[in-house]
Structure 1
Amino acid sequence: MRIFLFSFLLLLLPQAAHACGSETPCEVPGGYYLAAVPEDWDNETPLRLVVYFHGWNSSPEATFRNKAMVNGATLRNALFVAPFAETGYWRQIGEGRAESGRDEAAYIRAVVDDVRKRWPIDERQTLASGFSRGASMVWNIACYSGDLFRAYAPIAGGFWRSNPETCPAGPVNLRHIHGLSDGVVAFDEIGIYNSMPITEGFDILSQTNGVAGEAREVASGDQRLTCSRWDKSDSGRVLELCLHQRGHSIPAEWVAQGLDWLENLPEGS
């Protein structure tokens, strides 16, 4: 009888480990997140991971209504995670730059730690992506908590109000997408909400990565994008900047394309 009961409890453990998801919030200190697994996942195979940071005044629930974005990730064998920003607003992090309110660095680390407890994760296939103010959060994490993910794919957002002098987390793999007609977060000048030029952010990461040489143009797989890559560096990390002619927008497939980019990174990066 004891053996039978023990075996029965073991069968329940995988379900208990991830007893939350796309409809039931996963609670962590400071907030919550929603998560979606691939439909055909066998409950054992390590999953790729994409954590997506929503734009200003959005939410995990609104993100999950974008089925094309979520499915683009899960069809690539990735767990799709959407954290929650208090009052729809992600705050800057970093010494001398942190804004009042929730400690975003601690909250995001709590989310990632909780994800790893609930699901098996392929540590070589972890990506942080986000849009607008959520992309700003991605830049902040890359700069100050770069150990959390193998790669970063921000879209239409960078540092706000000021740039950090350095990025203490060290070299990172980062692919940024931006519109040259973006009237909300300007590409190469200070934007209307005090967003910093994306070009200045790349200068900081180039120094951090130890970039050597000029960028080279690379195919993106998306006709809307023109991409330049810096893949020669002292650190072995890769930077890529993809530009388009449109404004402040994020087609759903761009998050999944970030996963494709991650999958094709050089082995040593």
Structure 2
Amino acid sequence: MRAFFVSVFLLVFPLSAVASDPGSRGEVPGGYYLAAAPDDWDGKTPLALVVYFHGWNSSPEATFRNRAMVNGVTSRNALFVAPFAERGYWRQIGEGRAEPGRDEAAFIRAVLKDVHSRWPVDEKRTLASGFSRGASTVWNIACYMGGAFRGYAPIAGGFWRSNPETCPSGPVNLRHIHGLADGVVAFEEVGIYNSMAITDGIDILAGLNGVSGESRPVESGDRRLDCERWDKSRSRRVLELCLHEGGHSIPAEWVAHGLDWLDALPDG
């Protein structure tokens, strides 16, 4: 199992031997982001967009050292974008839940506006993904900025400190991946850093999506994952939960697999 996973330590402190590409830098109010387009892009064809929110105390530069993650996305005719978390820490967003510091919703909107001004984006293929605290940010965006992306693919992180009473953005397409042995962000209980149970977040979104009936098992294309899907809903949005036996970790390819999942969703 260990051979398949990139440890949280390596994500925060990548090995210097890993090849590095600084990417294209974009400056926006509140910070910056790095971006990479496919090497063979013709400069005109609309690109899918994957915005990846890094984990605690990591950075866009550290993310770009993980070439397998970046290349996995760009090889799918997609633009890979990695925004910067101020002091390595993403704040909560939402009325009554926002934390002191940078207004993350305003920063994310600024990043998206700048990205759209520089690259043609295929609006049917836009995905927010992230790891750990970055995954918590993805849940927050889905809840409070749901129209920003067509789909959401958080990995090993959910709501922090408290669950929202409701999500004003309404129904969303979301696929969550989590390790049953995660000792940092617990799956079914409050974690050591006051993360909320992932199952509670799933229940909130199921209600918003208007889910009817039980989930059904689905193939993920990855033998490490055991996935179930709720796709019978009034909203026609899809909710998916994929579990593995590992801990707080993220194989590089799972971000690109999130885009594959998005591409396979029905229209709506």
TM-score over 0.5 (shorter chain)? yes
| Paired letter, 1:255 | V
Q: How does 1:17-56 map to 2 (within 5 A)?
A: 22-56=22-56
Distance, in Å, in 1 between the alignment partners of 2:78 and 2:23 is: 18
Q: Secondary structure at the match of 1:177?
A: strand
Q: How does 1:11-22 map to 2 (within 5 A)?
A: 22=22
Specify the alignment match of 2:92 in structure 1.
92
Q: Does 1:214 align with 2:214?
A: yes
Are 2:160 and 2:195, in contact at CA under 8 Å, matched by a contact in 1?
yes
CA displacement at 1:22 relative to structure 2: 4.0
Distance, in Å, in 2 between the alignment partners of 1:110 and 1:214 is: 39
Q: Once the two structures are aligned, what percentage of the paired residues are identical?
A: 78
Specify the alignment match of 2:142 in structure 1.
142
CA displacement at 1:55 relative to structure 2: 0.1
Greater RCO structure (CA 8 Å; 6+ sep): 2
Deviation string, structure 1 residues 182-212 (Cα, Å, up to 9, x no partner) = 0000000000000000000001101111111
Specify the alignment match of 2:125 in structure 1.
125
CA displacement at 1:25 relative to structure 2: 2.0
Structure 1: runs of 5 or more not aligned: 1-20
Distance, in Å, in 2 between the alignment partners of 1:80 and 1:45 is: 15
Distance, in Å, in 2 between the alignment partners of 1:112 and 1:152 is: 15
Are 2:48 and 2:125, in contact at CA under 8 Å, matched by a contact in 1?
yes
Specify the alignment match of 1:16 in structure 2.
none
Deviation string, structure 1 residues 146-174 (Cα, Å, up to 9, x no partner) = 11000000000000000000000010000
CA displacement at 1:24 relative to structure 2: 4.5
| Paired letter, 1:65 | R
Distance, in Å, in 1 between the alignment partners of 2:230 and 2:130 is: 21
Q: Secondary structure at the match of 2:136?
A: helix
Question: Normalised by the size of structure 1, how large is the TM-score?
Answer: 0.91
Specify the alignment match of 2:80 in structure 1.
80
Q: Residues 24 and 123 (structure 1 numbering): CA distance in 2 closer, same or farther, change over 3 Å?
A: closer
Specify the alignment match of 2:161 in structure 1.
161
| Paired letter, 2:143 | C
Are 2:23 and 2:64, in contact at CA under 8 Å, matched by a contact in 1?
no
Indicate the RMSD between aligned Cα atoms, in angstroms: 0.8
Distance, in Å, in 2 between the alignment partners of 1:214 and 1:138 is: 25
Distance, in Å, in 2 between the alignment partners of 1:109 and 1:237 is: 23
| Paired letter, 1:103 | D
| Paired letter, 1:186 | A
Q: Secondary structure at the match of 2:115?
A: helix
| Paired letter, 2:49 | L
CA displacement at 1:267 relative to structure 2: 1.4
CA displacement at 1:23 relative to structure 2: 3.8
